[in-house]
């Protein structure tokens, strides 16, 4: 982080000015101890908004309604539920997502198409509309309610994931906040992952879309928990302008600072999701350098973080570099074996395509850290990328073998 | 299997006429109880040969030498070792692979470029040439030696994998045999998988190449154990013509029968590899029907067999069809939710995009079988494909967390 972007203490989505949130428990989430399952986020001012959505061909109607509403350009609030994904339930899913938007809009004095609708949980189960109807009016919005909202979107997460950063610009303080949830089905192309980002910056809508895409590509799209991608993934960003000042736009003085802040928030949340992956106890970073181009670097980094053999090696603190090289070789990135170098937590394991006789016990010790880093240099060009994954543990298998039964 | 292609009792690669094989133990395989690690296969007659090879950009020099020799069109023998992959060892790997071919050729009275060289085992370790030099002359070739060869290529396999089939054509008996090894790193694009196929049919070289490609595409390329792909995968097919008769060629009367026999052998071996996947206790089949085309059907089938969430559900006997649908949706195959149907061991779980209220205990009971089948109908076209995977178990994680340490 540069010195210009700083962390906000206990930051969340209501840290930026002009946002309020709250949550309640209506009883649709049975598998988490935390007792919020329906949340609202509201901006006092009109917003510009941007979103990125799952690429899964099977999509929750909540995603479709939200995507439509982002496109309409008038979004100012979000209603989110956990426990039920509102996916693969036929046309009832469309009716329910629209009704949820309508109910929330009524409560907030907005139009239904000003709402984003987020759902996460079991597939193939209809939203329990009776309890949602009764629950929405019970939600109290407050300026500290981001914390409740963060808990209301948790499913198998063991902890809420939220943060905020701030920077100064033209004498004003601009804040960017975010909450997210994991934890299973997390994969590069936006997994069962929900993220809501807020800022009091005034941001040009086109720039906002580009900024979100760039940040998501560097963060949420570079993490892998189990290689799956869900029907519901959504990242939403609302900018309400409450901090005042001229609009942040492409080429404006504040553009780079805003992007940096947004990157920080997204990267923090993405890594928090990996760290809290189902059954995970450690995170590993894969840094690829010297690829022919960035696209190949991204492919290589993601293939390595996604490999079950690499992930079990990380679990066992095993510097089994052969598995890293094998994953690299099948990633689609061009590789010249004689130019390859590989470092584990900074220790050179392989250089010029040849294994270095390293002191294994020392590297095993390095790998016992809760954060492990692999750096691979391909020696071919300027392409670089970083991805994050987690160890594959017996606990992951146990947990996912007994999810609904 | 049609009635024309029949199983050969205790079939192996020396079941076809004119093939001999043998193996010895030189001490380069430490991690299997079975004590053969160096094998030879030899044909008394000249052969036509075909091969398919790993697509990994990082390839063992054994693979490169074998690919070159197949291309030269004069192959008549195979030398194989287990324990050391001869991969990622720099230029020494090339010298060693060439010397292994030379030593085996000397022993058999052939030229080095008549040899295929297969290696499997640890990456980054050089072949122990001193013991290989001493070992090759000790190998005794016999007409029953296929069984020894099958054991000599095993690594973490718990049992040898071999079979043979026969058919009648023009009063002659034609036999096709095969051996293979798994078990980790098995994935659609030819994983740490070695397969050697032999036949006493006389086969036109161009037809042989096409036949092998078709069989591999239906068998070895449709299995997944852990989503990884190795540096060494090879399937080799030698046809020595010892059964006599006119050559099998495209459009010849015997062509379809030969293809069917080869398919049977490859399919049997592929399923044996999955069944013996590291930590696996059950196999599941994914049949996709009604895709827009075969390519999409293949993608869908392979994405589902590869999904950790599907594989842990199979492990837990959990009819969690949402995970199947989520994997399908991200596979790249076009999906229209309202046309989807899904069957688990023949029981309809979902029809027209809507979950059917099924009797869960009965389906859980079905899933306790050692073979589980998922059939997905997309309702869009004629594309169909079948893939096979295995459950992801705690034992897989335990095993692969402690592979070299």
Share of chain B above pLDDT 70, in %: 94
CA distances from A105 to B22, B203, B325 (A): 78, 73, 32
- Give a yes or no: residue A392 inside a domain: yes
Taking the C-alpha atoms of residue B52 and residue B49, their distance in angstroms, rounded to an integer, is: 11
pLDDT per residue over A249-268, tens digit each?
Answer: 999 989 999 999 999 999 99
Residues A319-341 as b or e (16 or more Cβ within 10 Å = b): bbbbbbbbbbbbbebebebeebb
Of the candidates B275, B303, B323, which is a domain's last residue? Answer: B275
pLDDT, average across residues B324-347: 94
CA angle (A89, A91, A96) in 5-degree steps: 80
Domain tally for chain A? 2
Taking the C-alpha atoms of residue A341 and residue B214, their distance in angstroms, rounded to an integer, is: 38
pLDDT band at A183 (very low <50, low <70, confident <90, very high): low
pLDDT band at A400 (very low <50, low <70, confident <90, very high): confident
Q: Judge whether residue A229 has pLDDT over 70.
A: no
CATH number at residue B212: 3.60.70.12
- Give a yes or no: residue B1 inside a domain: no
All residues at 6 or more sequence positions from B152 whose CB lies less than 8 Å from its CB, including other chains: B23, B24, B36, B37, B38, B39, B80, B81, B82
All residues at 6 or more sequence positions from B251 whose CB lies less than 8 Å from its CB, including other chains: none
Residues in chain A closer than 8 A to B335 (CB atoms): 57-58
Backbone angles phi, psi at A350, to 5 degrees: -155, 140
Tell me the H-state helices in B109-136: 129-135
pLDDT, average across residues A199-206: 98
Q: Count how many residues are written for chain B.
A: 405
Handedness of CA B88, B94, B95, B98 (dihedral sign): positive
For chain B, give the longest Cα–Cα distance.
68
Please choose, from the candidates A395, A38, A275, A85, the residue with its C-alpha nearest in 3D space to the C-alpha of residue B320: A85
pLDDT band at B189 (very low <50, low <70, confident <90, very high): very low
Residues in chain A closer than 8 A to B309 (CB atoms): 184-185, 226, 228, 400
Residues in chain B closer than 8 A to A317 (CB atoms): 405
Reading the block at residue B36, the tokens are 């053969």
Reading the block at residue A28, the tokens are 């649709």
Of the candidates B235, B250, B275, which is a domain's last residue? Answer: B275
- Give a yes or no: residue A269 inside a domain: yes
Residue of B nearest to A92 (CA): B354
Asked if A128 and A263 sit in the same domain, the reply is yes
Taking the C-alpha atoms of residue B132 and residue B152, their distance in angstroms, rounded to an integer, is: 13
Name the residue with tokens 């979950």.
Answer: B355
> Is B6 in the A-facing interface, judged by CB distances under 8 Å?
no
For all residues of chain A together, what is the average pLDDT? Answer: 91
Helices B61-72 and B92-108 pack at an angle, to 10 degrees, of 50
> Is B124 in a helix, a strand, or coil?
coil
Name the residue with tokens 């692969």.
Answer: B400
pLDDT per residue over B206-258, tens digit each?
Answer: 999 999 999 999 999 998 766 556 778 899 999 999 999 899 999 998 999 99
> Is B398 in the A-facing interface, judged by CB distances under 8 Å?
yes
Neighbouring C-beta atoms of residue A130, cutoff 10 Å: 9
Residue of A nearest to B334 (CA): A57
Helix (H) / strand (E) containing A328:
helix A321-329
Asked if A209 and A346 sit in the same domain, the reply is no
DSSP A208: H
Taking the C-alpha atoms of residue A284 and residue A290, their distance in angstroms, rounded to an integer, is: 20
Residue of A nearest to B278 (CA): A309
Helix (H) / strand (E) containing A132:
helix A129-135
Decide which of B348 and B398 is more confident: B348
B286: left (phi over 0), alpha (psi -120 to 50) or beta: beta
Calculate the CA dihedral of residues B305, B306, B311, B314 and round it to 10 degrees.
0
Calculate the CA dihedral of residues B34, B31, B229, A295 and round it to 10 degrees.
-170
DSSP A126: -
Asked if B382 and B305 sit in the same domain, the reply is yes
Of the candidates A275, A297, A312, which is a domain's last residue? Answer: A275
pLDDT per residue over A164-174, tens digit each?
Answer: 999 999 999 99
**pLDDT score recorded for residue B276:** 87
Tell me the H-state helices in A199-250: 205-218
Highest-confidence segment of A94-108, B34-48, B354-368: A94-108
Q: Judge whether residue A32 has pLDDT over 80.
A: no
Q: Do A325 and B355 touch (CB under 8 A)?
A: no
Tell me the H-state helices in B246-393: 255-275, 294-306, 308-315, 321-329, 360-367
Q: Do B401 and A315 touch (CB under 8 A)?
A: yes
Residues in chain B closer than 8 A to A313 (CB atoms): 400-401, 403
Residue of A nearest to B311 (CA): A401
- Cα-only R_g, chain B: 22
Q: Do B333 and A57 touch (CB under 8 A)?
A: yes
**pLDDT score recorded for residue A378:** 98
Residues in chain A closer than 8 A to B230 (CB atoms): 326
**pLDDT score recorded for residue B233:** 85
Residue of A nearest to B313 (CA): A401
pTM: 0.88
Q: Do B401 and A316 touch (CB under 8 A)?
A: yes
- Give a yes or no: residue B52 inside a domain: yes
Asked if A347 and A292 sit in the same domain, the reply is yes
Q: Catalytic: which of A12, A120, A163, A192?
A: A192
> Is A15 in the B-facing interface, judged by CB distances under 8 Å?
no
Q: Which domain holds residue B342?
A: 283-401
> Is A158 in the B-facing interface, judged by CB distances under 8 Å?
no
Calculate the CA dihedral of residues A67, A71, A72, A76 and round it to 10 degrees.
70
Tell me the H-state helices in B219-293: 255-275
Asked if A248 and A311 sit in the same domain, the reply is no
The ipTM, to two decimals, is: 0.84
Interface A-B: count of C-beta contacts within 8 A: 202
Asked if B200 and B139 sit in the same domain, the reply is yes
Asked if A243 and A315 sit in the same domain, the reply is no
User: Do the beta carbons of residue A382 and residue A296 sit within 8 Å?
Assistant: no
> Is B35 in the A-facing interface, judged by CB distances under 8 Å?
no
Determine the distance in angstroms separating the CA of A396 from the nearest CA of chain B, rounded to an integer.
8
Q: Which residues is A341 bridged to in the sheet?
A: A377
Calculate the CA dihedral of residues A264, A266, A268, A269 and round it to 10 degrees.
160
Please choose, from the candidates A273, A243, A272, A271, the residue with its C-alpha nearest in 3D space to the C-alpha of residue A257: A243
CATH number at residue A336: 3.10.20.340
Name the residue with tokens 């989807």.
Answer: B340
Q: Is A192 a catalytic residue?
A: yes
Reading the block at residue B358, the tokens are 């099924």
User: Do the beta carbons of residue B342 and residue B324 sit within 8 Å?
Assistant: yes
> Is A185 in the B-facing interface, judged by CB distances under 8 Å?
yes
**pLDDT score recorded for residue A187:** 44
**Beta strand spans in A210-253 (E):** 223-224, 234-239
Asked if B323 and B206 sit in the same domain, the reply is no
Q: Judge whether residue B174 has pLDDT over 90.
A: yes
User: Do the beta carbons of residue B185 and residue B70 sit within 8 Å?
Assistant: no
User: Do the beta carbons of residue A354 and residue A310 sit within 8 Å?
Assistant: no
Taking the C-alpha atoms of residue A210 and residue A258, their distance in angstroms, rounded to an integer, is: 12
Taking the C-alpha atoms of residue A226 and residue A116, their distance in angstroms, rounded to an integer, is: 27
Please choose, from the candidates A164, A159, A136, the residue with its C-alpha nearest in 3D space to the C-alpha of residue A78: A136
Asked if A271 and A330 sit in the same domain, the reply is no
Strand B194-199 to B234-239 pairing: parallel
Please choose, from the candidates A276, A68, A61, the residue with its C-alpha nearest in 3D space to the C-alpha of residue A156: A276
All residues at 6 or more sequence positions from B255 whose CB lies less than 8 Å from its CB, including other chains: B207, B248, B249
Taking the C-alpha atoms of residue A176 and residue A11, their distance in angstroms, rounded to an integer, is: 9
CA B93 to chain centre: 24
**Annotated active-site positions of B, please?**
192
Asked if B113 and B144 sit in the same domain, the reply is yes
**Beta strand spans in B44-169 (E):** 48-53, 77-84, 115-122, 161-169
Strand B77-84 to B48-53 pairing: unpaired
Q: Judge whether residue A213 has pLDDT over 90.
A: yes
pLDDT per residue over B3-60, tens digit each?
Answer: 799 999 999 999 999 999 999 999 988 765 668 999 999 999 999 999 999 888 888 9
Q: Do B329 and A231 touch (CB under 8 A)?
A: yes
> Is B124 in the A-facing interface, judged by CB distances under 8 Å?
yes
Taking the C-alpha atoms of residue B323 and residue B310, their distance in angstroms, rounded to an integer, is: 6
pLDDT, average across residues B378-402: 89
Residues in chain B closer than 8 A to A318 (CB atoms): 401-405
User: Do the beta carbons of residue A244 and residue A16 sit within 8 Å?
Assistant: no
Q: Do B326 and A228 touch (CB under 8 A)?
A: yes
pLDDT band at B191 (very low <50, low <70, confident <90, very high): very low
Taking the C-alpha atoms of residue B386 and residue B367, their distance in angstroms, rounded to an integer, is: 18
Asked if A116 and A66 sit in the same domain, the reply is yes
Helices B294-306 and B321-329 pack at an angle, to 10 degrees, of 130
Asked if A271 and A167 sit in the same domain, the reply is yes
């Amino acid at each position: 982080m540069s010195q210009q972007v700083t962390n906000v203490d206990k930051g969340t989505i209501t840290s930026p000015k002009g946002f309020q949130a709250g949550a309640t428990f209506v009883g649709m989430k049975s598998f988490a101890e935390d007792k919020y399952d329906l949340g609202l986020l509201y901006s006092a001012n009109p917003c510009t908004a941007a979103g990125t959505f799952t690429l899964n061909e099977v999509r929750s109607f909540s995603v479709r309604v939200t995507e439509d509403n982002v496109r309409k350009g008038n979004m100012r609030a979000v209603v989110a539920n956990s426990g039920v994904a509102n996916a693969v339930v036929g046309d009832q899913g469309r009716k329910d997502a629209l009704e949820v938007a309508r109910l929330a809009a009524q409560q907030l004095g907005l139009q239904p198409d000003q709402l984003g609708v987020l759902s996460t949980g079991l597939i193939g189960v209809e939203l329990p509309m009776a309890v949602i109807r009764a629950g929405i009016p019970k939600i109290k919005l407050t300026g500290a309610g981001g914390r409740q909202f963060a808990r209301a979107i948790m499913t198998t997460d063991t902890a809420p994931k939220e943060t905020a950063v701030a920077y100064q610009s033209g004498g004003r303080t601009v804040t960017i906040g975010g909450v997210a949830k994991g934890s299973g089905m997390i994969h590069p192309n936006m997994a069962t992952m929900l993220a809501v980002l807020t800022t009091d910056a005034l941001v040009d809508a086109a720039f906002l879309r580009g900024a979100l895409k760039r940040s998501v590509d560097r963060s949420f799209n570079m993490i892998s928990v189990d290689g799956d991608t869900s029907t519901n993934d959504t990242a939403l960003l609302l900018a309400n302008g409450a901090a005042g000042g001229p609009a942040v736009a492409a080429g404006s003085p504040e553009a780079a600072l805003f992007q940096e802040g947004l990157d920080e928030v997204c990267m923090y949340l993405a890594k928090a999701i990996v760290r809290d992956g189902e059954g995970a106890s450690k995170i590993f970073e894969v840094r690829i350098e010297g690829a022919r181009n960035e696209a190949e670097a991204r492919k290589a980094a993601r293939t390595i973080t996604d490999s079950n053999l690499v992930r079990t090696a990380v679990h066992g603190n095993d510097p089994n570099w052969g598995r890293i090289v094998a994953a690299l070789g099948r990633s689609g990135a061009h590789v010249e074996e004689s130019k390859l170098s590989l470092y584990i937590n900074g220790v050179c394991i392989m250089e010029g395509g040849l294994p270095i006789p390293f002191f294994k016990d020392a590297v095993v010790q390095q790998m016992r850290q809760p954060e492990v880093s692999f750096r691979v240099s391909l020696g071919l060009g300027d392409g670089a990328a970083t991805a994050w994954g987690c160890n594959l543990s017996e606990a992951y298998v146990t947990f996912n073998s007994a999810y609904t039964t």
